[in-house]
Structure 1
Amino acid sequence: MAAAVRGRRIAAILIFPLLIAGCGAAQGTPAGTTTVAEIKAGGEHNDTDVMFLQMLVFHQRQGLDMAGTAAERATGPELKNLIKAVRATEQNELTIMLSWLADWGEPTDVDAAPSAHTGHGGLHGTNPADITRLQTVDAAQFDATFLNMFLAHQHNAIELAQMEIESGANPRAKEFAERVRQTRHGEIRQMLRLTTGDHQ
């Protein structure tokens, strides 16, 4: 029962800042907005706003691949609950980012080459071979392997968000980056507790 309560708490922490506290109340959101696809960023933006969204799109597509594997292979109940919340949050975020890039007339298919976006530190992604390895790693080692990999992956998301917070121009994109920073910090804290066995 306690584990189930903690799982529901995790889901609330990760999903609500984006869907309720963030987007629903953000400045300029129409009163009748009911879906994430209806949330608009507005036209004002600079190169950092574009780079941030493009790099985070690439990053989150990788993250959703990893989380999809974890949904099938993870064994720990708290990890399963965390992954469920991550998938819901990041899929909604991905919808928002693709919509904003399209509104700005910017490409949504990001080149995965190592040289892509070098001026902004590269794509901040995870090695594709490591992501593939999650599908075959020994079952007894999956949870630990995934946690170690996803900790680094989500730390990269925080670095991208910080870039946008410091150098972006679009107010909605900067608000979005701050929510990304906060939710990833929350995920990292939870994953660190799971790696150390402290589930209190």
Structure 2
Amino acid sequence: MRHRSVGDLMTPTAITVRPTTAFKEIARLLKEFDITAVPVVDASCHPVGVVSEADLLDRRSAGGAATAGTLMTSPAITARPEWSVVRAARIMRRHQVKRLPVIDAKDRVIGVLSRSDLIRLFLRSDHAVQEEIVEDVLTRTLRIAPSTINVAVEDGLVTLSGVRPRPELVPVLIRLCQSVDGVVGVDDRLTCAEAGHD
């Protein structure tokens, strides 16, 4: 079972600017490419900061000429392509940023991950989520007969009902369900099997 990574969701070959890029050029790039922020990179394409629409508006109200180097928020909060989307989302929330420049092993910018990219994960249909849990989580990974556990998905909320598997498998089952793209929560309604003797 393979889960989406930052590299799967990011917009590749990110639009970048240099610290010397002028205010008007940054504004033009944001409008032309319909983006809300742009990474600022040095001569080696290493990120040194990020300039957002908010940075431009703040400076505009203050007046005066400006460059990316004077406008940017620094240092740049970055992500790696191999990161899970959950990790990237936590970094965004912790640092209160809307997008992350994605860097390769040499710390060069290779793309940008935005919050809208992450939101796309939760637009998967409930049927697609249910199908993945039944086929990948239950059958292939845990080798649990789908006939023993009912998987219902509504608006991304997964409800598990039926016969509870071996106790040690329950937390694993729930964790695997939570990691499926599009799942917003898991409701465990599994019940113990009959003892089978008096």
Higher strand share: 2
TM superposition score category, shorter chain reference: under 0.3
Larger RCO: 1 or 2 (CA < 8 Å, sep 6+): 1
Of Structure 1 and Structure 2, the greater helix share is in 1
TM-score, L = length of structure 1: 0.23
Q: TM-score, normalised by structure 2?
A: 0.23
